[in-house]
Amino acid sequence: LYQAVETIRATVVGAGTHTTEISGSTISYEKNQLPMKNIPILKISEEEEKTCLGIEESIRRQIPLYISEGEAVQIAISFEGTGYSGFAGIQELAQAIINGAKVLIRLKYPLLIVAEHDIAKALGHALNVKLKHSKEVICIDGIRTQSGDYIDIGEPIGEGRVVPVVIKTLIFNS
C-alpha cells in the first residue's frame, strides 16, 4: 500500500469521482513519459468506431474542443477497440488514428491511446512503424472511459507489464 500524496476534492459546483484500475498487460509505452496526470479524454463513440473513416472524422471533429487560446493540449484518444483484432484491422485502425490526429502528432506530447479491448500492444507497434518511430506512442488497454473524463497514468508496475490508471469524472447537480 502507498499513501496518496494528493486526494480529490470538490472545489466548485460539483464533486469528482474516480476509479482506480490497472491497465491490461498488452500495452505499449515509452518509459520516460510516465507518469502522466490530468489528461482529458477524447472519446470516439461506438457508432463512429464502426468504420475507420468514422474514427478519423471523429478525432478531427473533436480536437478543436481541446484547443485553448490557439494551442492544443495533451489529450488521450479513447475507444472500445472491438472489430479491430486482426492484423489488417489493426493496420487500418492505426492509419485512421494517424490521419485523424495529425494536429496532435505535430505537438511535443506523446500520442496517447486508450482502448477498452486488448489491442494496445499491437496497435502501439503499428502506430510506431507507420510513424517511423518519429513520435512517442503510449497505448494502453483494459480501460473504459467516457467523454469528459480525465486520466492519470502511473509508473509501470509488475515488471513493466501494467500501469496503474485513475479515471476521474466530474459530477454536477442537475
Give the span between the Cα atoms of 103 and 97, in whole angstroms. Answer: 11
Write down the H helix ranges in 44-162.
46-49, 52-62, 87-100, 102-105, 120-130
Does residue 71 lie within any of the structural domains?
A: yes
Domain that holds residue 96: 17-171
Does residue 12 lie within any of the structural domains?
A: no
Does residue 94 lie within any of the structural domains?
A: yes
Q: Count the Cβ atoms, other than its own, within 10 Å of residue 76.
A: 22
Give the span between the Cα atoms of 44 and 72, in whole angstroms. Answer: 18
* Residues 67-84 pLDDT 10s: 877 777 899 999 998 888
* Residues 72-129 pLDDT 10s: 789 999 999 888 888 999 999 999 999 999 999 999 999 999 999 889 999 999 999 9
- pTM over 0.85? The answer is no
**Count of domains forming the chain:** 1
